[in-house]
Structure 1
Amino acid sequence: MGTGIVPSPVGSTANGFKEIPMVPSSLWEQALSRGLLDVFIRAGLILVLAMACYQVFHPFLNLMLWAVILAVTFYPLHQRLCNAMGLGEGKVATLITLVSVAILLIPVFLLGSSIAESMDSGLELLKGGDLQIPAPPESIASWPLIGQPLSDAWKQAADADQTSLVKQVLPYLKGAGLVLMSKLAGVGAGILLFLGALIIGGIIMAYGGNGHRSAVAIASRLSGPVRGPQIAELCTATIRAVAQGVVGIAFIQMLLVGVGFVVMGIPGAGVLALLVLLLGIMQLPVTLITVPVIIFVFATQGASLGVIIFTVYSVVAGLSDNVLKPMLLGRGVNVPMPVVLIGALGGMVTGGIIGLFIGPVVLAVGYKLFWQWVEDPPKLPVEEERTAP
């Protein structure tokens, strides 16, 4: 056989490599710019659609957040009742909603009546001019630092003409009254919002299975099929822990302390009970309210049997969170107190009274997700191949 050179195929070099046709750089730039323009246009349209959806949904955001929180919190009870009573999920959800509304309306009515009576008696006192400031006790002057100035100011106020004194402070009382009325109106709107969220939460509970599957599917789409169910379970556990261990305990304390104040006839019992609720959510001791009230009752009514019983009851009710927290909060995910406090304060500033409840839950979920992301870094491809079955 003779030797010779085999001609290269068309489009190949003598060494057998393909020749890459030279494309002018201007065509590459045009194609690249056209692709980027398409991406930007699509991203812009998606952003506009998301903003439009947010504006439409924004008025109902707090309502739906609170409804989801209530549904997640009550769902274990819902499942136990379904198994025990043999009823359908819709009927059990309706039963839980009706009982919860009845339980909520009774203390709200009592506290609202107490607030209205306190405001009426205060207005009548100011209008009638019967306001009298008693003389200060002699022991106040012996207090260190502030005793003598406080005693002198108290004596001056007691000796002054009460009518002129009321006229002097009336403008300030008017401004404070307007602020108080606006806050009470916010509380009323929050209660109505809570009732609406409770009804919607009952509807969500009736379809709890589908809701759980949807949450797992969304989390899996965002974080992958392995971490998605874990993230969904973490969010569920955190919501239940904070809702039961923070908001639930604060609400129970408000009921216990508020009922004692109403029965004892404490002036402004409804307002004091709301302050107990706020302190409980912000993880501050409720004794800041109960101790001054106990001192006031002893100073005005003396050391009778009823006062002693009220004192013991108020102390036990104020310290009940020490018993309830290990029972409720310990079942879920523990969240540091500063996170709950910041969530309560920030939620109250941004969302009003309903934000006081939603803020700790949302911030606690974000806190736990952040630390899970920090403590669980993504695996390298080599590690994934080794751990693969």
Structure 2
Amino acid sequence: MPTDIDSPLARRAVAFAFLVFIFGLTFWVLSPFLAALAWAGILAYATWPLYQRLSRRLAGRDTLCALLMTIAVVTMLLLPMIWVTSMLAGDVSAASAQLRLVATEGLPPLPPGVRSWPGGDWLAAQYARIQADPAWVRAQIDALGLTDAQRLKAVAGGVGRNVAKFALAVFALFFLFRHGASLLSQVRRVATRWLGGAARGYIHAVGVTVRAVVFGIVLTALAQGALAALGYWVAGVAAPVLWGVITALVALIPFVGPVVWIGLSLSLLAQGESQAALGLFLWGALVVSWVDNLIRPLVISGPTRIPFLLVFLGVLGGLQAFGLIGLFLGPALLAISVAIWREWLVRVESSV
């Protein structure tokens, strides 16, 4: 007579507990490296069409093809980073010296032209109130560490502090190029086994969304930062590379980038540089924002067939929940949710 442990329900419960235990420990072991592995997967997927073209030309030389693609991706990432970091170091030093001067001598006098602005008297009164309390200004600057040039350089050199993670991502990237097709095939088979034919649609939605985020958010933010830095340099803004990097980082959140160049335009206007302020404002409105307001929604919403609002919320929620990797994870999760919702709608319509 079978015991309770021999019943099908008990065996399934034991098997499920065993799987949870094994996969839980596996996740725990890999958890320190998940961010690096995720970045490697994103880079591999974004550059996969280039790998396929190279693979066709080097038929039968998969290892060489993977090595060449890894070197190309690393070079494409490192060279701009090294150049920007070297330029940024000088700008950071200059900005830090200026902040130290402010912390020591207090805020400079407000240009008289500000009072002619709409609400200029109120702005001047608020500025005068802050200017009259240099201890408070010093405390705010010291709290942020903005007078410590070494600390600012360390922040700007974040890539250097994460060399180990970057090396691991590069190492994983090589193997993803080398075995990516086989790994993707295995994932598709397992997902189809558990989720049925709808799994292919979910995987496709994730892939399209990740690629759209790479080109629609990351690359457009970099383009905005580069164009903005050019405008800052022409307008005579101090530390244009530093402000360009800040613009690129802020522009990762759609429609927030204008805050930087509008603020700098107002700063130039307050200093009496009306022509430079007007030129920078027009450059930002007609060139920099054109990338953000037109190209980004087309690149994202077009291939994904997901409302841009959901992608926007996915970016914000992903950054809040998962950090920088959430920039991709948030929209991808929403893409799966939208795919499931549309599948349910099709089933409901077909059953009516």
Q: TM-score, normalised by structure 2?
A: 0.76
Change (3 A) 1:195 1:140: farther
Give the counterpart letter for 1:207 in structure 2: H
Distance 2:42 2:270 in 1: 44
Change (3 A) 1:372 1:268: farther
The match for 1:55 is: 28
| Counterpart check, 1:140 vs 2:115 | yes
Secondary structure at the aligned position of 1:343 is classed as helix
Shifted more, 230-239 versus 371-380: the winner is 371-380
| Counterpart check, 1:72 vs 2:72 | no
The match for 1:44 is: 17
| Counterpart check, 1:229 vs 2:229 | no
4+ residue runs of structure 1 moved beyond 6 angstroms?
303-307
Secondary structure at the aligned position of 1:207 is classed as helix
| Counterpart check, 1:335 vs 2:310 | no
Distance 1:284 1:304 in 2: 25
Distance 1:282 1:330 in 2: 16
Q: TM-score, normalised by structure 1?
A: 0.70
Residue ranges of structure 2 left out of the alignment (5+ in a row): none
The match for 2:248 is: 277
Give the RMSD, CA atoms, in angstroms.
4.1
Secondary structure at the aligned position of 1:206 is classed as helix
The match for 2:180 is: 208
Contact 1:264–1:310 (8 Å) recurs in 2: no
Residue ranges of structure 1 left out of the alignment (5+ in a row): 1-26, 384-389
Query: Deviations for 1:314-335, whole angstroms, at most 9, x for unmatched residues?
Result: 8413322455447743662133
Give the counterpart letter for 1:173 in structure 2: I
Distance 2:224 2:174 in 1: 24
Structure 1 residue aligned with 2:138, among 166, 170, 190?
170
Distance 1:263 1:302 in 2: 13
Contact 1:241–1:334 (8 Å) recurs in 2: no
Q: CA deviation at 1:55?
A: 0.6
Give the counterpart letter for 2:112 in structure 1: P
The match for 2:81 is: 108
The match for 1:367 is: 337
Secondary structure at the aligned position of 2:306 is classed as coil
Give the counterpart letter for 1:172 in structure 2: Q
Secondary structure at the aligned position of 2:304 is classed as coil
Q: CA deviation at 1:75?
A: 0.8
Distance 1:175 1:220 in 2: 53
Structure label with greater radius of gyration: 1
The match for 1:217 is: 189
Q: CA deviation at 1:72?
A: 1.6
Secondary structure at the aligned position of 2:21 is classed as helix
Matches within 5 A, 1:192-341: 192=163, 193=165, 196-224=168-196, 226-258=197-229, 260-261=231-232, 266-297=237-268, 300=271, 302=273, 308=279, 312=283, 315-322=286-293, 324-325=295-296, 328-329=299-300, 332-341=303-312
Contact 1:282–1:345 (8 Å) recurs in 2: yes
- More helix, by proportion: 2
Q: CA deviation at 1:350?
A: 3.5
Secondary structure at the aligned position of 1:214 is classed as helix
Distance 2:282 2:162 in 1: 30
Distance 1:33 1:74 in 2: 51
Secondary structure at the aligned position of 1:266 is classed as coil
State, as a whole percentage, how many aligned pairs show the same letter: 20
Secondary structure at the aligned position of 2:76 is classed as helix
Distance 1:124 1:326 in 2: 40
Contact 1:107–1:255 (8 Å) recurs in 2: no
